[in-house]
Amino acid sequence: MFGDSSISLTHEEQQEAAERIHELMAQGISSGEAIQIVAEQIRQSKSADKSQ
């Protein structure tokens, strides 16, 4: 359900993700959808990092 749970984030990355989630929620997006959007962005970013 949650995809690749082996992705680990530094504390700084976690803080940035939380800020992005809050920004999306401030724009009217539900918390669940905001989390899903940010999680997908992180997965794509980490996937791109691994392929380089």
d(CA 10, CA 16): 10
Q: Is 21 contained in some domain?
A: yes
Tokens for 14, please give them: 């976690």
Domain of 26 in residue numbering reads as 14-51
Report how many domains make up the chain: 1
Residues 8-40: tens digit of each pLDDT: 999 999 999 999 999 999 999 999 999 999 999
Question: pLDDT band for position 48 (50/70/90)?
Answer: confident
Contact indicator for 40, 15 with CB cutoff of 8 Å: no
Q: Is 5 contained in some domain?
A: no
